[in-house]
Amino acid sequence: MASSVDKLSVLLLLIVSSLVVAACAGNFYDKVDVTWGDGRAKILNNGELLTLSLDKASGSGFQSKNEYMFGKIDMQLKLVPGNSAGTVTAYYLSSKGSNWDEIDFEFLGNLSGHPYILHTNVFSQGKGNREQQFYLWFDPTADFHTYSILWNPQRIIFSVDGTPIREFKNAESMGVPFPKDQPMRIYSSLWNADDWATRGGLIKTDWSNAPFTASYRNFNDDNACVWSSSTSASSCSSTTGSSSNGNAWLSGELDTTNQERLEWVKTNNMIYNYCNDSNRFPQGLPPECSMA
């Protein structure tokens, strides 16, 4: 009984958290550049709304105007409704080059009535293979929800509506590279990946449902260190700038309440964790997996 009460209490916290997460409205005309899609990406409502569309000919995408060297970045998304099987909506931070860093949210579409899979990954120096996957505790196509990345020198925290779902800690002391030396941009795209996205590629995209559309609003990078390539410095480089911007997240970590929320999500919503996949790593699990 106590266990059921505890679970109910945490679930109520998640719901309340989703209701009170506030995102400062960012004007997409000022914040992003549409990079591909031949008109399938649209900025609407005086810059308050952005939509990406996918049809059989092409998907679409955009990137942030700014590069960042650490930050807390929020975006509200409403995913492709109905039969979205075969489609992937990607929202991620990435650097450039063959030894790139990357922090991924990918939303894998599914048949009508079946849940999306939220796929996360972390790349450092070109190496990924750190997948964790989740079912969400709500319908991500019915309304907008806030998806956040907190990236500081100590850890990366993925959050949904203010609830942490994953923490990737800096394990350089164990020989594991950590993304901290390369500035990254936000990228997002909607594309066809029916060779792998839904049930390993068994379910193909039904183009009779096209165009598929994902919607975005309230892009917030106010709590991020904007990188200047001309000076090779970030907006948080000076002590004055950091303190005046209130960048407590630069050394932030999960408090007890959020640690409990994270554990609740792991127990109830995680469907794959590379750190539990001993068949995939017969020579031993990656060293960071020993960090509880």
* Residue with tokens 């700014």, as numbered in its chain: 66
Provide the CATH number for the domain around residue 274: 2.60.120.200
pLDDT digits (tens, 9 = 90+) for 93-127: 999 999 999 999 999 999 998 999 999 999 999 99
- Domain with 278 in it: 28-235+249-290
Q: Is the pLDDT of residue 138 over 90?
A: yes
Task: Give 174's contacts (C-beta < 8 A, 6+ positions apart).
Answer: 287, 288, 290, 291
102 is an active site residue: yes
- Whether residue 269 lies inside any domain: the answer is yes
Confidence of residue 237 (pLDDT cuts 50, 70, 90): confident
Q: Is the pLDDT of residue 19 over 60?
A: no
- Whether residue 207 lies inside any domain: the answer is yes
- Whether residue 200 lies inside any domain: the answer is yes
Mean pLDDT to the nearest integer, 177-196: 97
Domain count, the chain: 1
Q: What is the pTM of this model?
A: 0.89
Q: Among 67, 106, 260, 288, which one carries the catalytic annotation?
A: 106
- Whether residue 21 lies inside any domain: the answer is no
| Pair 35, 52: CB distance under 8 Å | no
- Whether residue 242 lies inside any domain: the answer is no
| Gap between the Cα atoms of 5 and 121, Å rounded | 32
First to last CA, the chain: 27
106 is an active site residue: yes
- Whether residue 202 lies inside any domain: the answer is yes
Q: Which two tokens stand for residue 212?
A: 């598929």
pLDDT at residue 238, as a whole number: 58
- Whether residue 7 lies inside any domain: the answer is no
Confidence of residue 18 (pLDDT cuts 50, 70, 90): very low
| Gap between the Cα atoms of 244 and 193, Å rounded | 44
- Whether residue 11 lies inside any domain: the answer is no
